[in-house]
């Protein structure tokens, strides 16, 4: 605002307050949490993420996400600045932004963006142009770090963890993110494990450069960033070395088994036979059948992939103190990636998969909607009370059916 446009609007004591007619300047006030205020004092950088159609999310230095909500005030507020000893009225405000911890749907958004690259899953450099005869065919959107920043409401470290989990890698030559073909990733995992036996590598101290050198000597087409992506998905990294994680491998193979058969229910013994058949021989699958009864499924390796049910004749045992024995338990696949982000819609879809749920069973499929991980149990209980009808089961747990129309 120029001095010539300013006019005196109020005099307080010996100081004049000047302002522009109509308050043309746009300002917004942001109400800070104590944590954000402390980070500002430490000269920390913040970012705001989101598309034009998203509610804005602020990401702080610890990668905590905050939804920016508009809060209306009962009284008008005036924003003033002091310029050359004179108070200047910049604008009149009737609302502020406040910050509420949130948990954006990062995985769903990352998967959506990665699908924009129409080349499909990466199966190796030798297959990149297989079947392409029309030079006018495009690759769709090339997914770069910038594209991810524009569309995913999370910090870089959080996005990278999700990219690792969905088997994505960043092509060193182009900077484009691609998803690895699941079969190709499994083949590489088996080669890594076979080479571990041949070269006597410790499975708890694998180095990416050593693994790549050995694989590249046999298969020159293999990319180092692809080897790194496979290790990040199936192993844990600490101080520069990877330790193979059998549970991660089991979860991934279980995903492939369920994906190959649609929505059909799997008897636990049949599922375990399929899992054993696909498990690399260098890794041990320790299966205690007592840990696969209907009451234990929610904490097993398939806890976020399937829910326990049974044949109609055994349904009365599902919520009994001991549950349905593993030999009679059925696994109903639930694809978390396709569940709606709206709480009501997700509860509706889960009740469509299975008509009766306990909070313990439903928790793995709702926890990503809760901003504070320590508050998941409380949130799930409140949603079940809101969207379900509960009765006390034989084991003391409440069993819920849907009240959603």
Task: State the 10-residue block means of pLDDT for the chain, 405 residues long.
Answer: 39 51 68 86 85 88 88 84 82 86 89 93 83 51 93 93 96 95 95 94 94 94 96 94 95 94 92 93 81 90 94 89 93 92 94 94 93 88 95 89 91
| Separate counts of helices (H) and strands (E) for the chain | 12, 16
According to the model, what pLDDT value does residue 144 have? 96
pLDDT at position 7: 39
pLDDT, position 28: 80
Q: What pTM does this model have?
A: 0.82
Structure tokens at 73: 């005030």
Tell me how far apart the alpha carbons of residues 367 and 369 are, in angstroms, rounded to a whole number.
Answer: 5
Q: What is the pLDDT of residue 25?
A: 56
Whose tokens are 């101080």? That residue is: 239
For every residue of 328-340, DSSP letters joined together read: GEEEEE--GGGS-
Residue 279: other Cβ atoms inside 10 A? 15
The answer to whether 95 and 71 are in contact (CB under 8 A) is yes
Q: What is the pLDDT of residue 18?
A: 55
- Are the beta carbons of 360 and 314 closer than 8 angstroms? no
Per-residue pLDDT, 319: 87
**Residue position matching structure tokens 């049974």:** 310
CA separation for the pair 151, 11 (Å, rounded): 48
pLDDT at 263: 85
Cα dihedral sign, 125-126-132-134: positive
pLDDT at position 286 is: 73
| Beta-ladder partners of 180 | 122
Among the listed residues 137, 138, 136, 146, the one whose alpha carbon sits nearest the alpha carbon of residue 113: 146
Angle between helix 224-234 and helix 208-218 axes, rounded to 10 deg: 130
Distance CA 68, CA 316 (A): 47
pLDDT of residue 22: 56
What is the 8-class DSSP label of residue 357?
Answer: B
Predicted pLDDT of residue 129: 66
SS (H, E, C) 45-87: CCEEECCCCCCCEEECCCCCEEEEEEEEEEEEEEEEEEECCEE
For residues 103 and 182, give the distance between their C-alpha atoms in angstroms, rounded to a whole number. 28
């Amino acid at each position: 605002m120029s001095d010539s446009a300013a006019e005196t609007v109020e005099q307080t004591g010996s100081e004049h307050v000047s302002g522009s007619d109509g308050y043309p300047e746009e300002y917004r006030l942001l109400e800070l949490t104590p944590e954000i205020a402390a980070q500002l004092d430490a000269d920390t950088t913040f970012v705001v993420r989101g598309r034009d159609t998203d509610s804005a999310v602020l990401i702080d230095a610890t990668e905590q996400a905050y939804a920016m909500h508009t809060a209306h005030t009962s009284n008008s507020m005036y924003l003033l600045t002091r310029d050359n000893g004179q108070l200047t009225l910049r604008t009149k405000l009737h609302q502020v932004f406040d910050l509420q911890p949130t948990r954006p749907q990062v995985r769903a958004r990352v998967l959506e963006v990665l699908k924009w690259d129409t080349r499909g899953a990466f199966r190796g450099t030798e297959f990149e142009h297989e079947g392409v005869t029309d030079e006018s065919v495009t690759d769709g959107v090339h997914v770069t770090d910038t594209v991810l920043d524009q569309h995913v409401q999370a910090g870089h470290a959080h996005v990278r963890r999700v990219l690792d989990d969905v088997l994505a890698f960043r092509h060193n030559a182009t900077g484009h993110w691609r998803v690895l073909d699941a079969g190709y990733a499994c083949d590489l995992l088996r080669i890594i494990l076979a080479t571990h036996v041949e070269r006597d590598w410790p499975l708890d101290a694998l180095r990416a450069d050593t693994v790549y050198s050995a694989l590249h000597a046999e298969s020159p087409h293999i990319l180092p960033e692809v080897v790194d992506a496979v290790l990040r998905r199936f192993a844990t990294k600490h101080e520069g070395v990877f330790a193979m994680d059998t549970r991660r491998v089991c979860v991934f193979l279980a995903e492939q088994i369920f994906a190959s058969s649609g929505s059909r229910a799997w008897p636990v013994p049949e599922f375990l036979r399929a899992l054993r058949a696909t498990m690399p021989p260098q890794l041990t699958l320790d299966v205690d059948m007592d840990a696969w009864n209907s009451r234990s499924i929610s904490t097993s390796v398939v806890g976020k992939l399937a829910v326990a049910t049974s044949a109609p004749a055994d349904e009365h045992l599902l919520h009994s103190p001991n549950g349905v024995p593993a030999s009679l338990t059925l696994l109903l696949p639930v694809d978390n990636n396709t569940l709606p982000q709206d709480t009501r819609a997700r509860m509706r879809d889960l009740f469509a998969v299975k008509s009766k749920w306990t909070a313990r069973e439903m928790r793995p499929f709702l926890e990503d909607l809760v901003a504070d991980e320590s508050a998941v149990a409380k949130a799930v209980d409140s949603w079940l009370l809101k969207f379900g009808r509960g009765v006390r089961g034989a084991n003391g747990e409440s069993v819920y059916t849907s009240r959603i129309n």
